[in-house]
Structure 1
Amino acid sequence: MLGAGFPPETVDRGLALGADVIAVDGGSTDSGPYYLGSGTAKTSAAAVARDLRLLLRAAAGAGIPLIVGSCGTSGTDSGVDWVSGIVETILREENLTLRVARIYSEQTAAVLKERLGEGRVHPLPPMGDLDAATLDECTHIVGMMGHEPIAAALAAGADVVLAGRATDTAVAAAYPLMKGMPPGPTWHASKIIECGGQCTTNPRAGGVLATIDDDGFVIEPLDPAAACTTTSVAAHMLYETVNPFEMREPAGTLVVTDAVYTALDDRRVRVEGSRFEVADQYTVKLEGARVTGYETMSFTAIRDPHILARIEEWVALMHEVLAGRVSQTLGLDPSGYAVDIRPYGYNAVLGSIDPASGPPREVGVMMLVNAPDQATATAIAKIANPLMLHLPTSDMDYLPSLAFATSPAETERGAAYEFTLNHVVDVDEPTALFRIEIEGAPR
C-alpha cells in the first residue's frame, strides 16, 4: 500500500528483471468507514511522498507507467487531488516530465437515485433494497472501478495514473489486459500480487513481480531473501474472498478451480489453468458512509482482583449506574445516545464467543459514547468519569481506585461514521461512472 513503505532496492530489482508497469494500491476499506466518510487519508503526506518519489523516479527512468489505485485511502475525489498534489510537487522537484491522469470515482446521490428508480441498483448480501434517503445521508459515495478506466487513461497517453476507488486487482490487471494478455491468468496474477509480499515467505519484504503469458503466469518476490511457494501463492485466494475458488470483478468472475501451482525453483511459482467468465451484466460496486453521531472516548485500567473476578457484573453495573446519572443530570433517555464499554484483556474482541476462561489478570476498559452532538457525548463521558475511576461491584464496601490512561480522561473523536452501501449498479459502459482528466485540463 502506498505510504506503508518498501525497500528501495526491491524496485530496482523489479526494473532489472524487466518490469513493464509499476502498480500500487493506495487505499482500502480495512480501516473502517471514517476515511471514506470524512474524505481524508489514513496515511501521512510524508510517507506517501517518500514512496511516490521512489516510484516516480523508477517509472521515469525505465520509461514504464505507474498506476496508483484508491488514492487517499478511500478513493474520493479529494483523495485523488491530494495524491495528485504530492505528485506534482515531486515531478517539479525531480525535474521529471510525465503525463499524469486523474480518474475520479465519486458519485452523486442524484445520479444514483436515477439509476435506483430505473431498477439498476441491486443489494449484495446481507443488505436489503436501497432506500433513496440513504443516498442523501452519505457524506461520500464512490464507485469501485474495474480496469477499463485505467486502461483508457493509459491509451490516452498517461505515464502516471492516479485512480479513485478501484478494485485491488484492477490496478495490476489494467496494463496486461490492455496489451492483450488472457484475462484468466491476468486477473489471477493480479489477485495474488495485490498485497505485495504477503504471497511470499516474508510479508514485510516489499513487492513481487508477476510475468504473464498466454498460458499462465510466474510470480517471484523482489527481495532475494524471500520466496514464493505453492502454498504461499495458492493461499492468497483465501484472502478477502467469500469463495477461495472464485472472485467477482465488475466485468465477470475469476475462477481458479482448475488452477495448478508448480514450483519452478525455490523462489518462483508458475500458475496455469485460471479462467475468467464474463458476466451478462457489467456492474460497479458502490461504497458509501454516513455520520452516525459524535464520539467521546475514555479509557481506564483495572487491576483489582475482586472486580476482575466479576468483570461482566462490573460492566453491567457501569451501564446501569451511568444511565441513571445521565437521566438525572442531562434528562436524556438511553435511546438518545449509545455507550459502548469494551473490557480489553477479557472479551473485548470476540465477545461472548471468546474461548478463554477464568478471570483476567488486568483489563483496560474503553468506553465510547456516541451522541447526536459532540458536547453531549463529552458531557456523558464526564458523568462517567468518577465511575471509570472508582466504581465498586455491588458487594464491595470500599471504593476501588482504577487507573485512567490519560489526563484529561475524555478524548473527543469527532464525527463517527458507518458504511451504508453494499450495492452494485448496472452500467452499459465500464467507464460511464468515472471521469478521466489528463495534464490538468478542466474537470
Structure 2
Amino acid sequence: MSTDDRSRVRFVAPAAVMGGGFSTKSFRAALETKPDFIACDAGSTDWGPYYLGTATTWAGYRQTRRDLERMVLGALDVGVPLLIGSAGFTGSDAGLTWFRGIVADILAAHGRTARIATIRTEQPKDWVHGKVRSGQTWGLDGRPDLTGADVDRATRIVAMMGPEPYAEALDAGAQIVLAGRSSDAAIYAAVPLMRGIAPGPAWHMGKTVECGYAIEEPIGAGECIVGEVDDEGFTVRPVGGRSRCTVRSVAAQMLYENATPYLLREPPGTLDTSAARYLQLDEQTVRVVGATFTSEPYSVRLEGVEQLGYRSMCLFGVRDPAVVANVADYTAAITDLVHRTARDRYGLDESAYTFGFRRYGYDAVLGDAEPNAATGYAGCYEIGLVAEAVAADQEIAHEIVSGAMPFFMHGVRVPGVANSANGALAYAPSVVNVGPVFNWSVWHAAALDHPMEPFTLEVADSAAVKELVSS
C-alpha cells in the first residue's frame, strides 16, 4: 500500500459500475493522490433476476474490458491492490470465471503479471439445505421462511459476502481481488477495516462511494471519486474536472437501494448514520463524521432465482381518446379473447401460459397502488401497452402473443372507436422473444459460523490463470 500511515486510508472509486465508463483524465489525476487501494462494484440486482438465472452480465466484453484495463494497469502502476466486487455481475461461478478471463487477457496483452484472487460465492444446494434444516435462515423484506422445496426449484443461489474475504485475499498476497456476489459497501470498507479504521466511518464511506461518481454533481460527468477515511469520518471529492460533491449529493446516497437514510444492515452488523454530520469543506469536497456501527451475529443474504418459463412480448401504443378513456376495459376484452382463442383454436388451457398487459401511462409502474386510479387520468392522451405471455417453452409464448395481435388492431370495439387501427406497433418484428424468465425465489438471510464459511478463495499468478482460462 502507498503509505505507512495507518491512521487514514486513501481510496479511488473510478466508476459507478464496471462497464459504465469513466473519465481517463480524471483517473490519471486520481492515481496521483497516492491511494491505498482502488475499488469498483461490477454487479447489481437492480436489473432483475434474469442475469443470475442465466449467469450472464449486463455489460459486454468490450465495455467491461475498456474499464477494467485502465483499473488493472493503473493499480499495478502505482502498486496498490484493485478490489472488484460482484465480478461477473451476479456472483455466479460462470460469471466470475468470465470476468477473470478478461483480467488474464489484459495482463497478457500488456506483458504484465499479477497475483489474482477469486472468491466464489455461488452455493451448492446441499449447503443451503443444511442451513434450512438447522433453522439458520429467515426471510427478508417480509418473505416467508425458506423451504427445502424453494431451494430445489432454484436455478442458482449465491451468498453476498462481507469484507472478510477481501482481507483474506489481500493477506494471501493478491494484487487483484475478484469477488463474486458482494456487499457493495464491503468492497470499500474492507481495506480500512484491515488497517484498523473505526467501523462506523469505514462502513459509511463504503456505502457512500459504492456507486462512485453517483455522488457528484452534475450527474453524468463520469469523474472519479477520491477520498480518505479515518477514525472520525471521511472526505470525498471528484478529481480532474469541474464536477463537485455537495452535502446533498453525498447524503442522498444512503437512500440508494435502502429503505431508510439512517440504518444499513451489513453482514457483521448495522451502520447507523442518524448522528452523522455532513460538512462542505470547499466547492468540491465534503467531509462526513458521526456514523457508528453495531456488531451483530454474522449473517449473509442469499439470493436465488427460479425459472418461470419463457417470455414473448409486443409493444404498441394507443391514443384514440375513447380507447385511452376505457383502457382497462379494452385490455380486459383482449385478454378474454386471447384466452378463448388459445382454448378453442390452439387447444391450450390457461394453465399452460400467462398473458397480460403492462399499461404505461396508466398503471404499469405502481399497479394497484397507483394513486390516480381513483381520480381518473384527465389529460392522458396516449398509453403504451406491452402485451406479454409466459409459457413453458418459447414457441407457446410466441404463439399466444402473435395470436393476440389481431385483437390489438381490430376486433375489440370500444364505444366511438372503429373496429380497426386501434394500436400502433412500435417495432417490426412486432413480437419479441425475450427468452427465459426468472423470479427472485430466494431472498433470505443465513447465519454463518464464520465469515468465510460459504466462500471459496483461490489465489494464483496470472500466468496460471491464463493457462487455466485457455484450457
Separation in 1, partners of 2:219, 2:268: 30
**1:323 CA displacement:** 1.3
**1:396 CA displacement:** 5.2
Secondary structure of 2:412's aligned partner? coil
Separation in 2, partners of 1:397, 1:254: 58
Secondary structure of 1:307's aligned partner? helix
> Quick one: which of 258, 261, 264 aligns to 1:244?
261
Q: Does 1:220 align with 2:237?
A: yes
Match of 1:421 in 2: 442
Secondary structure of 1:219's aligned partner? strand
Secondary structure of 1:422's aligned partner? strand
Match of 2:221 in 1: 205
Match of 1:395 in 2: 415
Say whether the 8 Å CA contact 2:322–2:414 is kept in structure 1: no
Cα 1:400–1:283 shift into 2, 3 Å: same
**1:249 CA displacement:** 0.6
> Quick one: which of 9, 24, 41 aligns to 2:57?
41
Secondary structure of 1:348's aligned partner? coil
Aligned residue runs from structure 1 range 130-141, under 5 A: 130-141=146-157
Q: Which runs of 5+ in 1 are unaligned?
A: none
Separation in 1, partners of 2:371, 2:195: 50
Cα offsets for 1:42-93 (capped at 9, x unmatched): 1111000000111111101100111111011111111111110011000001
Separation in 1, partners of 2:417, 2:254: 57
Say whether the 8 Å CA contact 2:310–2:394 is kept in structure 1: yes
Separation in 1, partners of 2:360, 2:438: 22
- Give me the CA root mean square deviation: 1.8
Aligned residue runs from structure 1 range 149-228, under 5 A: 149-206=165-222, 207-228=224-245
**1:308 CA displacement:** 2.2
Q: Does 1:235 align with 2:255?
A: no
The residue type paired with residue 389 of structure 1 is M
Match of 1:363 in 2: 383
Say whether the 8 Å CA contact 1:205–1:223 is kept in structure 2: no
The residue type paired with residue 430 of structure 1 is P
Separation in 1, partners of 2:141, 2:371: 26
Secondary structure of 2:378's aligned partner? coil
Aligned positions, number: 442
Separation in 2, partners of 1:314, 1:278: 55
The residue type paired with residue 44 of structure 1 is G
Match of 2:95 in 1: 79
**1:394 CA displacement:** 4.2
Aligned residue runs from structure 1 range 255-404, under 5 A: 255-279=272-296, 281-352=297-368, 353-355=370-372, 357-358=377-378, 360-395=380-415, 398-401=418-421, 402-404=423-425
**1:354 CA displacement:** 4.8
TM-score of the two chains, using structure 2 as the length reference: 0.90
**1:174 CA displacement:** 1.0
The residue type paired with residue 378 of structure 1 is H
Separation in 1, partners of 2:428, 2:281: 58
Separation in 1, partners of 2:244, 2:371: 35
> Quick one: which of 92, 95, 107 aligns to 2:108?
92
**1:223 CA displacement:** 4.2
Secondary structure of 2:442's aligned partner? coil
Cα 1:115–1:250 shift into 2, 3 Å: same
**1:36 CA displacement:** 0.5
Separation in 2, partners of 1:121, 1:308: 47
Secondary structure of 2:328's aligned partner? helix
Say whether the 8 Å CA contact 1:170–1:190 is kept in structure 2: yes
Cα 1:50–1:397 shift into 2, 3 Å: closer
Cα offsets for 1:314-365 (capped at 9, x unmatched): 1111111111111111233333321121222333223351537226322222
Separation in 2, partners of 1:342, 1:391: 20
What is the percent sequence identity of the aligned residues?
37
Say whether the 8 Å CA contact 1:193–1:210 is kept in structure 2: no
Say whether the 8 Å CA contact 2:202–2:229 is kept in structure 1: yes
Q: Does 1:16 align with 2:26?
A: no
The residue type paired with residue 188 of structure 1 is H
Q: Does 1:412 align with 2:424?
A: no
Secondary structure of 2:385's aligned partner? strand
Match of 1:128 in 2: 144
